[in-house]
Structure formats: C-alpha cells, structure tokens
Amino acid sequence: MNAKRRPLIAGNWKMHAGGLDGVRLAMAVREFASSVPHVDVLVVPPYTAIAAVAAELEGSSVLVAGQNVHGKPHGAFTGEISGGMLRDCGATWVIVGHSERRQHFRETDADVAIKLAAALDHDLSPIACVGETLEQREAGKTLEVVERQVAAVLDVLASAKRACAVAYEPVWAIGTGKNASPADAEAVHAAIRGWLAAKDTGLAERVRILYGGSVKADNAAGLLAEPNVDGALVGGASLDAGSLGAIAKAAESLARS
C-alpha cells in the first residue's frame, strides 16, 4: 500500500446472497466497517439484493456496487441492467470485465471499454478487471495480456471525473485457493501503474489497483503490504463477514502504520 491512496476492500458476492441472506450479510459488514475508518469497504451483491442492501447500509460508510452493467442507457435488452438502474437502486460503483464475464459471457476488451464509459456516464465508479489465464501465464504472456486489457480502457479511465479502480485478478487464482505470491502480484501491479503513468501521472497516482484471486484473512496482509497493491477484490471469503472484516482490518493496520 501507499499512503497516497486509501485502501479499498471489495467483496464480490457473485451469484450468492441475493435475498434476505444478503441483507443479513450487509448488516454484519456495517458492524465491522466502523472499526476500519482508514479503509473503503465495498460490497457487490447480485442485482436482486442491491436496493435492500443499499437501504440497510444507508448512513454507514460502506459502499455498494453492481457486478456488471449494460453499455446502453435503456432499450430492448431483455435481462440486462443499465447504469441508471444501478444508481436508482443505490449503487455508486460497478465491476466491469470480471474474468467470469469475459470467460462465460464472451465479453471482449471492446465491450469492457464500452461498459466502463457507460458506468462513468451514470456517475458510477468502475472497477475494471484484468488478468491472465493459467495457459497465458505458463506461456510467459502475463504482461502482454494484461497490458492489452489495460490499454483497452486507458482512454476512458483517463477521462474519468470519478474515482476508478483496476483489479488485477489472475484467472488461475480465482476461486481456486491458489493465489499469486505478494511478489508476483506486485510485479504486475507495478507494471499496471507504469502503463497508467505513461498515459497520465496523476491518473497513476489516483487509481487504486486491487488484487483479486483467493484473497483470505491469512494471506491478505502480505499482499496488501506491497507498495502497488491498494486493496483487494474478494470473492469467496466476502460471503463471511468475519473473513472480510479480518481482511479489512489487515488493510487498516497497514494504513495506520
């Protein structure tokens, strides 16, 4: 972490906790959030729970995000959700280009750039996800792949008037229990910071670069201690408020030190 940037700990619930269970989880997150005043805590419920979760979190510091957004503001797109709808439900952030969207729903770099712009048009702060597959890593193509994914969103990020984040999530580390070592994560985060700086040094200083992929209470501190790791995008462990709280507390103690 770096004192210039406030840590951001985001819990991506994926296709879980979409009803009352989501509201209960949000209540538990709200409880620990007051003990981590130097950390931004963000929850990312499925669409069905966003409004109820946002209502539960009203008046607290916990932020709410959507997991995806359509590129168009409205129209005949059955089953899709626009940025305006996310705002109406109380979300102020949104994840774009998560690897599960790229992999299972064939989202391309171009789609991700369109979604990012749509998010900003609706006053949503985006978390743009990037990351290589195991095959790409083993072929030595990690930086090439991530650079291409970052390049696709660079112009949109540079034009943003709102806070933005990039999440580096190696696909092979998501939900697998295998996480990148702090040094491996830092190498990619530093490269991302460099590409942002080549575009605009202010952008590079502002944008928080999160690490994601099997982040748990016991490995968070090591990852967050790296100078270019500004937070975490947590999947599985975020379904347990105790675990997300422990990760946020690791960020809080690093931010205070």
What φ, ψ does residue 252 adopt, rounded to 5°?
A: -60, -45
User: From the list 212, 223, 228, 252, which residue makes contact with ligand PGA (rule: CB under 6 A)?
Assistant: 212
Q: Is 250 in the site for ligand PGA (CB under 6 A)?
A: no
Q: Which span sits near ligand PGA by CB under 6 A: 58-66, 116-124, 199-207, 228-236?
A: 228-236
244 binding ligand PGA? (CB under 6 A):
no
Q: Which is nearer to ligand PGA, 33 or 171 (CB)?
A: 171
Choices 46-54, 118-126, 207-215, 242-250; region in contact with ligand PGA by CB under 6 A = 207-215
Q: Please list every residue from 169 through 198 that binds ligand PGA, using CB under 6 A.
A: 169, 174-175
* C-beta of 40 vs 203, nearer to ligand PGA: 40
63-71, 158-166, 195-203, 213-221 -> range binding ligand PGA (CB under 6 A): 213-221
Smallest distance, ligand PGA to C-beta of residue 159, A: 25
Does the footprint of ligand PGA cover residue 11 (CB under 6 A)?
no
Beta pairing partners, 176: none
234 binds ligand PGA (CB under 6 A): yes
- Sign of the four-CA dihedral 65, 70, 75, 80: negative
Q: Does 153 bind ligand PGA (CB under 6 A)?
A: no
Q: How far is the CB of 25 from ligand PGA (least distance, A)?
A: 15
The residues binding ligand PGA (CB under 6 A) are 12, 169, 174-175, 212-215, 233-237
